[in-house]
Structure 1
C-alpha cells in the first residue's frame, strides 16, 4: 500500500521563471547511501525495474533513449554525485544531484530547466512535475525493497493508488505554480486540467 500523503509530502517542489528559462526543482531524502541511489539511477537493469528500460551509449558524450519516453545526450557525469543530460530536446536540461545525508541517507535533487517558449512559462511545471513525482515515488518504493523481480513499473503507474497519487501531485504542483506568481489563474487552471487529463484521468482538482 502506498501512503499517498506521506509520499506527496516527502517531495519539496519549486518552480522559477528567470528570463527565458523555466526551472523546476525537486528534492527528497532517500534511506540509502548515495552509491546505492546512484546505482539504481544509472544501472539499466535496475532502472527498468522501477522506471523504464533505457538504451544507448551511457557515458559522457553518448546518448540515451527511455522506452516510450524521452531521450537525450549525456553532458556531464560525476559518479556518484551528479549527472546532467538533455531530455527531449537541446533546450530541455535535467541535472540530478546526490549528497550524503545523516544516518546513511541521500539528499536527492532534480533540476529540470526548459526554455520559457518550450515550457509555456511557469505553468510548464504542471506538464513535467507530476511525471517526475511518479518517478521519485517509483524510486522510493524500489529502494525500500517493495518491488519484486519481474515487476512491471507500468502496472504500478496505472494502479488506482498511483493514479490517486498523481491526482494529488497535480494539486501540489498547481499550488506551487500559483505561489510562484509567474502565471495568471486562468493559465494555471488550464494547465492543471491538461495535466490531470494526462497523469490522472478522471481525477478532480
Structure 2
C-alpha cells in the first residue's frame, strides 16, 4: 500500500447526531489507532507544553470548568476531563462558529484507539467549498491526528502540519487533503441515505 493510500485508510469515518450547548448538531466521528501507550497519547492532547509543539499553546484556566484560548483565536470551555480516557471541550472559531470536540482514548496493549467526535450546528461544516481557505472539518481533523502521531513519533515540529490554511498545502499533502475530503463526501452521502425519511403511505 502506498503512503497516500495508507494515510487515507488509517481513519474510520462515520456520522451521528449530538445535543451540544449550541443546539442539535451533526456529529462526525473519526477513529484511528495510534501505536503509542494511552498515557503518552493523553499527555499529548492535554499538556500545554505538548500541544504547543504541534497545535499551539492553549492559555487560560486549564481545568474542568475552565476556559482556554489558542493562538489562532479559537476558544472554548473544558466541559469534561477524565484522565486518561476522556476530554470534552467546546470550540468557538474566530468567525463565531460554535462546536463541541470530544476525544475518547482506549488502550489496546501498547497501542491507543483514538475516537474523535466533532459536532456542530453549522450547516456544511464537514465539507468546505474548494475555493475557501477554511479547513473542512473532516480532513482537517484527520490532519490533526497526523500531527498528533508525528509529535508522538518524535518528528521535528517544524515538519508537522501546524496551523496553516489548507490552500497553502502543496503536492502530496494537497492531494491527500482532496482525497480525504472526497472520502468524507462519500461517508456523508451514505449516512444521509441510511437516515433519509421513509416514504409515507401512498
Specify if TM > 0.5.
yes
Shift in Å, 1:150? 5.4
Cα offset for 1:44? Answer: 1.6
Distance (whole Å) between structure 2 residues aligned to residue 155 and residue 90 of structure 1: 18
Picking from 73, 76, 80, the partner of 2:84 is: 80
Contact 1:22-1:114 within 8 A present in 2 as well: yes
Matched residue SS, 2:150: helix
Q: Tell me whether 6-15 or 18-27 shows the greater mean CA deviation.
A: 18-27
Confirm or deny: 8 A CA contact 1:64 1:72 kept in the other structure. yes
How many equivalent pairs are there? 175
Match of 1:106 among 85, 101, 112: 112
In the TM superposition, what is the alpha-carbon distance from 1:155 to its structure 2 partner? Answer: 8.5
SS at structure 2 position matched to 1:14: strand
Shift in Å at residue 16 of structure 1?
2.6
Report the Cα distance in structure 2 between the residues aligned to 1:33 and 1:75, rounded to whole angstroms: 24
Any idea what SS the aligned residue of 2:65 has? coil
Cα distance in 1 between the residues matched to 2:106 and 2:126 = 24
Structure with the largest fraction of helix:
1
Q: Does 1:50 align with 2:50?
A: no
RMSD: 2.6
Q: How many Å apart are 1:151 and its aligned residue?
A: 5.1
How many angstroms apart in 1 are the aligned matches of 2:69 and 2:139? 20
Alignment match, 2:171: 160
Structure-2 change in CA distance of 1:151 and 1:56 (3 Å):
farther
Distance 1:149 1:21 in 2: 34
State the distance in 2 between where 1:96 and 1:181 align: 24
Q: SS in structure 1 opposite 2:125?
A: helix
Does structure 2 conserve the Cα–Cα contact (< 8 Å) formed by 1:11 and 1:27? Answer: yes
Where does the alignment leave 5 or more consecutive residues of structure 1 unmatched? 184-205
Q: Select which of 34, 42, 51 maps to 2:38.
A: 34
